Amino acid sequence: MHSKPGLTLKDTKKGLINGNGFTNGRRGLINGNGLTNGLTNGQKGKSWDFGITNGLSHSNGISRIDGKRKRFARALAVLGISLLIFVAIIPPVINMIFPGKEGISIDGDFSDWAGKVKLTDSRTDSVRGGTNIVEYSSDLNDEMLCFYIKTEKFVFSDTAKDGVSAFFIFIDVDSNYETGYLINGLGADYKVELIGWDKSIRAVSLNVWNESRNGYDWNGFVTKGSVSYAAIDREIEVGIPKTLLGLDESKGENKKVVSVIVGYPDNISGGMIDISDVPVSCIGGSVKASVEYPVRGTIDALKENVVLIVRLNAYGSDVRINGFRLHRLGTASASDISQISIYTDNGNYMLDSADVQVGIANQINEIINFDLTTPL
Protein backbone atom coordinates (compact mmCIF):
# COMPACT_ATOMS: atom_id res chain seq x y z
CA MET A 1 0.00 0.00 0.00
CA HIS A 2 1.28 3.45 -0.84
CA SER A 3 0.80 7.12 -0.16
CA LYS A 4 1.18 8.73 3.26
CA PRO A 5 4.06 7.50 5.47
CA GLY A 6 4.30 7.06 9.19
CA LEU A 7 1.01 5.43 10.08
CA THR A 8 1.32 3.29 13.21
CA LEU A 9 -1.31 0.67 13.88
CA LYS A 10 -2.07 -0.43 17.39
CA ASP A 11 -4.30 -2.91 19.16
CA THR A 12 -6.19 -1.64 22.16
CA LYS A 13 -9.51 -1.96 23.90
CA LYS A 14 -12.73 -0.16 23.19
CA GLY A 15 -14.86 1.44 25.78
CA LEU A 16 -16.87 4.29 27.16
CA ILE A 17 -17.35 4.51 30.91
CA ASN A 18 -19.92 6.25 33.10
CA GLY A 19 -22.07 7.78 30.43
CA ASN A 20 -22.81 11.12 28.88
CA GLY A 21 -24.96 12.67 31.52
CA PHE A 22 -28.08 14.70 31.35
CA THR A 23 -30.38 15.07 34.34
CA ASN A 24 -34.01 16.16 34.68
CA GLY A 25 -34.90 15.97 31.04
CA ARG A 26 -33.71 16.80 27.60
CA ARG A 27 -33.73 20.48 28.25
CA GLY A 28 -32.32 20.23 31.74
CA LEU A 29 -28.62 20.33 30.88
CA ILE A 30 -26.32 20.77 33.84
CA ASN A 31 -22.66 21.80 33.96
CA GLY A 32 -22.69 22.92 30.35
CA ASN A 33 -23.11 19.48 28.84
CA GLY A 34 -24.25 17.64 31.92
CA LEU A 35 -21.53 15.03 32.41
CA THR A 36 -22.94 13.19 35.38
CA ASN A 37 -22.66 9.42 35.11
CA GLY A 38 -25.51 8.73 32.72
CA LEU A 39 -28.53 10.36 31.16
CA THR A 40 -31.32 9.87 33.66
CA ASN A 41 -34.88 10.97 34.31
CA GLY A 42 -35.86 11.53 30.69
CA GLN A 43 -37.27 14.47 28.78
CA LYS A 44 -40.22 14.98 31.08
CA GLY A 45 -39.08 13.24 34.20
CA LYS A 46 -39.51 9.79 32.75
CA SER A 47 -36.95 7.09 33.42
CA TRP A 48 -34.28 7.07 30.73
CA ASP A 49 -30.83 5.52 30.71
CA PHE A 50 -28.03 6.90 28.55
CA GLY A 51 -25.34 5.58 30.86
CA ILE A 52 -22.26 4.10 29.22
CA THR A 53 -20.47 1.67 31.49
CA ASN A 54 -17.40 -0.42 30.69
CA GLY A 55 -17.86 -0.21 26.97
CA LEU A 56 -20.08 1.28 24.32
CA SER A 57 -23.11 -0.57 25.53
CA HIS A 58 -26.75 -0.73 24.80
CA SER A 59 -28.05 -4.22 25.37
CA ASN A 60 -27.02 -5.12 21.84
CA GLY A 61 -24.20 -2.61 21.53
CA ILE A 62 -20.45 -2.92 21.88
CA SER A 63 -18.83 -3.66 25.20
CA ARG A 64 -15.28 -4.34 26.28
CA ILE A 65 -14.08 -7.73 25.11
CA ASP A 66 -10.95 -8.89 26.86
CA GLY A 67 -11.03 -12.60 26.07
CA LYS A 68 -8.88 -12.61 22.95
CA ARG A 69 -6.31 -10.28 24.46
CA LYS A 70 -6.16 -12.42 27.57
CA ARG A 71 -5.41 -15.45 25.42
CA PHE A 72 -2.64 -13.47 23.76
CA ALA A 73 -1.34 -12.50 27.19
CA ARG A 74 -1.23 -16.13 28.31
CA ALA A 75 0.60 -17.08 25.15
CA LEU A 76 3.32 -14.54 25.89
CA ALA A 77 3.77 -15.61 29.49
CA VAL A 78 6.43 -18.19 28.64
CA LEU A 79 10.21 -18.04 28.59
CA GLY A 80 12.76 -17.91 25.77
CA ILE A 81 10.38 -18.03 22.83
CA SER A 82 10.53 -16.65 19.31
CA LEU A 83 7.24 -15.17 18.18
CA LEU A 84 5.94 -14.53 14.68
CA ILE A 85 3.31 -12.12 13.47
CA PHE A 86 1.74 -12.42 10.02
CA VAL A 87 0.44 -9.47 8.06
CA ALA A 88 -2.06 -9.99 5.26
CA ILE A 89 -2.35 -7.07 2.85
CA ILE A 90 -5.85 -6.80 1.42
CA PRO A 91 -6.53 -4.73 -1.73
CA PRO A 92 -7.77 -1.21 -1.00
CA VAL A 93 -11.47 -0.57 -0.70
CA ILE A 94 -11.71 2.82 -2.38
CA ASN A 95 -14.58 5.30 -2.54
CA MET A 96 -12.57 8.33 -3.59
CA ILE A 97 -13.11 11.67 -5.23
CA PHE A 98 -10.01 13.78 -5.71
CA PRO A 99 -9.98 16.70 -3.26
CA GLY A 100 -10.95 20.11 -4.58
CA LYS A 101 -9.00 23.30 -4.05
CA GLU A 102 -11.66 25.18 -2.14
CA GLY A 103 -11.95 25.00 1.63
CA ILE A 104 -14.99 23.88 3.61
CA SER A 105 -17.49 26.41 4.91
CA ILE A 106 -19.85 25.39 7.72
CA ASP A 107 -22.99 26.92 6.26
CA GLY A 108 -25.37 24.08 5.41
CA ASP A 109 -24.26 24.03 1.78
CA PHE A 110 -22.68 20.58 1.48
CA SER A 111 -21.57 20.98 -2.13
CA ASP A 112 -18.05 21.92 -1.03
CA TRP A 113 -17.64 18.35 0.30
CA ALA A 114 -18.17 16.96 -3.21
CA GLY A 115 -14.46 17.13 -3.92
CA LYS A 116 -13.33 15.49 -0.69
CA VAL A 117 -12.50 11.88 0.04
CA LYS A 118 -15.50 10.23 1.69
CA LEU A 119 -15.57 6.90 3.48
CA THR A 120 -18.64 4.68 3.36
CA ASP A 121 -20.01 2.99 6.46
CA SER A 122 -22.13 -0.14 6.67
CA ARG A 123 -25.87 0.48 6.49
CA THR A 124 -26.67 -2.69 8.42
CA ASP A 125 -24.78 -2.03 11.66
CA SER A 126 -27.57 0.05 13.21
CA VAL A 127 -31.36 -0.15 12.90
CA ARG A 128 -31.88 3.47 13.94
CA GLY A 129 -31.55 5.36 10.67
CA GLY A 130 -31.32 8.80 12.26
CA THR A 131 -28.01 7.89 13.90
CA ASN A 132 -26.87 5.27 11.38
CA ILE A 133 -23.75 6.65 9.70
CA VAL A 134 -23.55 5.80 5.99
CA GLU A 135 -20.85 8.24 4.83
CA TYR A 136 -18.30 10.46 6.53
CA SER A 137 -15.25 12.59 5.88
CA SER A 138 -12.73 14.95 7.48
CA ASP A 139 -10.84 17.96 6.16
CA LEU A 140 -8.29 20.37 7.60
CA ASN A 141 -8.04 23.87 6.12
CA ASP A 142 -6.21 26.99 7.24
CA GLU A 143 -8.72 27.76 9.95
CA MET A 144 -10.66 24.66 10.95
CA LEU A 145 -10.74 20.90 11.30
CA CYS A 146 -14.00 19.92 9.61
CA PHE A 147 -16.17 16.81 9.63
CA TYR A 148 -18.98 15.56 7.42
CA ILE A 149 -21.57 12.95 8.44
CA LYS A 150 -24.37 11.52 6.33
CA THR A 151 -27.03 9.34 7.92
CA GLU A 152 -29.41 6.71 6.56
CA LYS A 153 -32.50 8.74 7.50
CA PHE A 154 -33.18 12.32 8.56
CA VAL A 155 -30.78 13.18 11.41
CA PHE A 156 -32.32 12.25 14.79
CA SER A 157 -35.61 11.47 13.00
CA ASP A 158 -36.32 8.26 14.91
CA THR A 159 -35.40 9.40 18.40
CA ALA A 160 -38.12 8.34 20.84
CA LYS A 161 -40.59 10.91 22.17
CA ASP A 162 -38.79 11.27 25.48
CA GLY A 163 -35.37 10.24 24.22
CA VAL A 164 -32.10 11.92 23.37
CA SER A 165 -29.70 10.80 20.64
CA ALA A 166 -26.16 11.90 19.91
CA PHE A 167 -23.16 11.89 17.64
CA PHE A 168 -19.70 11.89 19.19
CA ILE A 169 -16.56 12.74 17.24
CA PHE A 170 -13.40 11.51 18.99
CA ILE A 171 -10.28 13.31 17.77
CA ASP A 172 -6.74 12.02 18.23
CA VAL A 173 -4.45 14.93 17.33
CA ASP A 174 -1.10 13.27 18.08
CA SER A 175 -1.62 9.67 16.84
CA ASN A 176 -0.66 8.44 20.30
CA TYR A 177 -3.02 5.96 21.92
CA GLU A 178 -1.19 6.37 25.24
CA THR A 179 -2.65 9.86 25.59
CA GLY A 180 -6.36 10.54 25.62
CA TYR A 181 -9.56 8.55 25.88
CA LEU A 182 -9.29 5.00 24.49
CA ILE A 183 -11.71 4.36 21.65
CA ASN A 184 -11.23 1.92 18.76
CA GLY A 185 -7.45 1.96 18.93
CA LEU A 186 -7.14 5.73 19.25
CA GLY A 187 -6.25 7.95 22.18
CA ALA A 188 -8.83 10.73 21.76
CA ASP A 189 -7.53 14.10 22.95
CA TYR A 190 -10.80 15.86 22.12
CA LYS A 191 -14.47 14.97 21.78
CA VAL A 192 -17.21 16.83 19.94
CA GLU A 193 -20.75 16.20 21.18
CA LEU A 194 -23.82 16.74 19.00
CA ILE A 195 -26.97 16.13 21.06
CA GLY A 196 -30.45 16.17 19.56
CA TRP A 197 -33.99 14.96 18.98
CA ASP A 198 -36.97 15.76 16.71
CA LYS A 199 -34.73 16.03 13.64
CA SER A 200 -32.66 18.82 15.21
CA ILE A 201 -29.34 19.29 16.98
CA ARG A 202 -30.02 20.89 20.37
CA ALA A 203 -26.61 21.12 22.04
CA VAL A 204 -23.05 21.12 20.71
CA SER A 205 -19.73 21.30 22.53
CA LEU A 206 -16.00 20.66 22.23
CA ASN A 207 -14.44 18.78 25.14
CA VAL A 208 -10.78 18.22 25.98
CA TRP A 209 -9.34 15.16 27.71
CA ASN A 210 -7.98 15.47 31.25
CA GLU A 211 -4.76 13.44 31.20
CA SER A 212 -5.02 12.72 34.92
CA ARG A 213 -8.02 10.46 34.29
CA ASN A 214 -8.16 6.76 33.49
CA GLY A 215 -8.15 6.11 29.73
CA TYR A 216 -11.62 4.51 29.88
CA ASP A 217 -13.27 7.19 32.02
CA TRP A 218 -16.02 8.84 29.98
CA ASN A 219 -16.12 11.72 32.46
CA GLY A 220 -12.45 12.46 31.80
CA PHE A 221 -13.51 15.06 29.25
CA VAL A 222 -14.06 18.69 30.29
CA THR A 223 -15.74 21.40 28.25
CA LYS A 224 -13.35 23.57 26.24
CA GLY A 225 -15.55 25.58 23.89
CA SER A 226 -18.06 25.55 21.10
CA VAL A 227 -17.91 24.54 17.45
CA SER A 228 -19.62 25.56 14.22
CA TYR A 229 -22.18 23.15 12.80
CA ALA A 230 -24.99 22.79 10.31
CA ALA A 231 -27.49 19.97 9.83
CA ILE A 232 -29.99 19.61 7.01
CA ASP A 233 -32.00 16.50 6.25
CA ARG A 234 -29.47 13.59 6.33
CA GLU A 235 -26.25 15.62 6.44
CA ILE A 236 -24.19 17.25 9.18
CA GLU A 237 -21.04 19.34 8.95
CA VAL A 238 -18.93 20.48 11.88
CA GLY A 239 -16.02 22.92 12.07
CA ILE A 240 -13.56 23.23 14.97
CA PRO A 241 -11.05 26.11 15.11
CA LYS A 242 -7.52 24.76 14.84
CA THR A 243 -6.47 27.01 17.71
CA LEU A 244 -8.80 25.13 20.07
CA LEU A 245 -7.12 21.85 19.06
CA GLY A 246 -3.56 23.15 19.36
CA LEU A 247 -2.88 22.38 15.69
CA ASP A 248 -0.07 24.10 13.82
CA GLU A 249 0.19 23.00 10.19
CA SER A 250 3.82 24.12 9.97
CA LYS A 251 4.70 21.35 12.44
CA GLY A 252 2.94 18.68 10.42
CA GLU A 253 0.17 18.01 12.92
CA ASN A 254 -2.31 17.67 10.08
CA LYS A 255 -0.75 14.31 9.21
CA LYS A 256 -1.40 13.00 12.71
CA VAL A 257 -5.08 13.84 13.15
CA VAL A 258 -7.26 10.71 13.09
CA SER A 259 -10.85 10.53 14.30
CA VAL A 260 -13.64 8.08 15.12
CA ILE A 261 -17.31 9.04 14.75
CA VAL A 262 -20.01 7.39 16.88
CA GLY A 263 -23.77 7.52 16.30
CA TYR A 264 -25.59 6.89 19.58
CA PRO A 265 -29.35 6.17 19.32
CA ASP A 266 -31.66 6.84 22.24
CA ASN A 267 -31.99 3.98 24.69
CA ILE A 268 -35.80 3.97 24.67
CA SER A 269 -36.21 2.89 21.05
CA GLY A 270 -33.21 0.61 21.16
CA GLY A 271 -30.79 0.05 18.33
CA MET A 272 -27.09 -0.50 18.05
CA ILE A 273 -24.44 2.13 18.53
CA ASP A 274 -22.80 2.88 15.18
CA ILE A 275 -19.03 3.32 15.35
CA SER A 276 -17.52 4.44 12.05
CA ASP A 277 -16.09 1.37 10.33
CA VAL A 278 -12.69 2.99 9.83
CA PRO A 279 -10.95 5.90 11.56
CA VAL A 280 -11.05 8.95 9.29
CA SER A 281 -7.92 10.94 8.46
CA CYS A 282 -7.88 14.49 7.15
CA ILE A 283 -5.12 13.54 4.69
CA GLY A 284 -7.27 11.09 2.73
CA GLY A 285 -6.36 7.45 3.32
CA SER A 286 -7.23 5.36 6.36
CA VAL A 287 -6.35 1.83 7.44
CA LYS A 288 -8.41 -0.72 9.31
CA ALA A 289 -6.49 -3.45 11.12
CA SER A 290 -8.28 -6.61 12.23
CA VAL A 291 -6.50 -9.23 14.30
CA GLU A 292 -6.77 -12.95 14.99
CA TYR A 293 -5.09 -14.94 17.74
CA PRO A 294 -4.33 -18.43 16.41
CA VAL A 295 -2.71 -19.64 19.64
CA ARG A 296 -4.85 -21.91 21.80
CA GLY A 297 -3.51 -23.04 25.13
CA THR A 298 0.23 -23.35 25.80
CA ILE A 299 2.72 -22.72 23.00
CA ASP A 300 6.00 -24.55 22.41
CA ALA A 301 8.91 -22.50 23.74
CA LEU A 302 11.41 -24.48 21.65
CA LYS A 303 10.16 -23.36 18.25
CA GLU A 304 8.79 -20.34 16.44
CA ASN A 305 5.11 -19.69 17.07
CA VAL A 306 2.61 -17.63 15.11
CA VAL A 307 0.78 -15.71 17.83
CA LEU A 308 -0.96 -12.94 15.92
CA ILE A 309 -2.44 -12.45 12.44
CA VAL A 310 -3.08 -8.87 11.32
CA ARG A 311 -5.21 -8.04 8.28
CA LEU A 312 -4.91 -4.56 6.81
CA ASN A 313 -7.46 -2.80 4.61
CA ALA A 314 -6.84 0.61 3.03
CA TYR A 315 -9.82 2.94 2.59
CA GLY A 316 -10.20 6.22 0.74
CA SER A 317 -6.79 6.03 -0.94
CA ASP A 318 -3.60 3.98 -0.79
CA VAL A 319 -1.68 4.17 2.49
CA ARG A 320 1.99 3.51 3.15
CA ILE A 321 2.75 1.78 6.46
CA ASN A 322 6.23 2.16 7.92
CA GLY A 323 5.67 0.63 11.33
CA PHE A 324 3.51 -1.03 13.95
CA ARG A 325 3.20 -0.60 17.68
CA LEU A 326 1.73 -3.37 19.83
CA HIS A 327 1.13 -3.46 23.56
CA ARG A 328 2.19 -6.76 25.17
CA LEU A 329 0.15 -8.13 28.06
CA GLY A 330 0.91 -10.95 30.46
CA THR A 331 3.58 -11.70 33.04
CA ALA A 332 6.60 -12.10 30.76
CA SER A 333 9.22 -9.37 30.52
CA ALA A 334 10.94 -8.26 27.32
CA SER A 335 14.01 -10.34 28.25
CA ASP A 336 11.89 -13.50 28.41
CA ILE A 337 11.17 -13.35 24.68
CA SER A 338 14.11 -13.96 22.39
CA GLN A 339 12.65 -12.31 19.29
CA ILE A 340 9.39 -11.12 17.78
CA SER A 341 9.32 -11.03 13.98
CA ILE A 342 6.72 -9.85 11.50
CA TYR A 343 6.14 -11.46 8.09
CA THR A 344 3.95 -10.77 5.08
CA ASP A 345 1.93 -13.93 4.56
CA ASN A 346 1.18 -15.73 1.31
CA GLY A 347 -2.38 -16.42 2.35
CA ASN A 348 -2.13 -19.77 4.12
CA TYR A 349 -1.35 -18.30 7.57
CA MET A 350 1.48 -20.77 8.08
CA LEU A 351 5.16 -19.93 8.24
CA ASP A 352 6.80 -21.22 5.06
CA SER A 353 9.39 -20.23 2.48
CA ALA A 354 6.92 -18.01 0.62
CA ASP A 355 6.57 -15.66 3.59
CA VAL A 356 8.81 -12.59 3.74
CA GLN A 357 10.17 -11.14 6.96
CA VAL A 358 9.64 -7.36 6.98
CA GLY A 359 10.61 -6.47 10.52
CA ILE A 360 12.01 -7.49 13.90
CA ALA A 361 10.55 -5.92 17.01
CA ASN A 362 12.27 -3.46 19.27
CA GLN A 363 10.89 -4.21 22.73
CA ILE A 364 10.78 -1.54 25.41
CA ASN A 365 9.10 -2.98 28.48
CA GLU A 366 5.57 -3.95 27.35
CA ILE A 367 5.71 -1.89 24.14
CA ILE A 368 6.60 -3.75 20.93
CA ASN A 369 7.70 -1.48 18.08
CA PHE A 370 8.22 -2.58 14.48
CA ASP A 371 10.11 -0.32 12.08
CA LEU A 372 9.48 -2.17 8.85
CA THR A 373 12.46 -2.88 6.60
CA THR A 374 10.03 -2.94 3.67
CA PRO A 375 7.08 -0.53 3.97
CA LEU A 376 3.68 -2.05 3.30
The CA distance from 69 to 200, in Å, is 40
Q: What is the mean pLDDT of the chain?
A: 71
pLDDT beyond 80 at 84 = no
The CA distance from 291 to 86, in Å, is 10
Q: Which residue type occupies 24?
A: N
Residue of 230, 254, 251, 226 whose CA lies nearest to 240: 226
The CA distance from 278 to 163, in Å, is 28
Question: Residue ranges of the domains in the chain?
Answer: 67-93+288-371, 100-283
Using one digit for the tens of pLDDT, what is the confidence trace for 287-299? 777 777 777 667 7
pTM for the model: 0.66
The CA distance from 275 to 280, in Å, is 11
The CA distance from 149 to 238, in Å, is 9
The CA distance from 197 to 177, in Å, is 32
Kind of pairing between the strands at 258-264 and 280-281: antiparallel
Look at residue 68 and give its three-state secondary structure.
helix
Q: Note the pLDDT of residue 172.
A: 94
The CA distance from 241 to 191, in Å, is 13
The CA distance from 60 to 269, in Å, is 12
CA 231 to chain centre: 23
First to last CA, the chain: 5
Taking only Cα atoms into account, the Rg of the chain, rounded to an integer number of angstroms, comes to 21
The fold for domain 100-283 equals Immunoglobulin-like (2.60.40)
Length, in residues, of the chain: 376
Using one digit for the tens of pLDDT, what is the confidence trace for 176-215? 888 899 998 789 999 999 999 999 999 999 999 999 999 9
The CA distance from 65 to 177, in Å, is 18
The CA distance from 202 to 128, in Å, is 19
Using one digit for the tens of pLDDT, what is the confidence trace for 296-328? 667 777 777 787 888 887 777 777 788 777 777
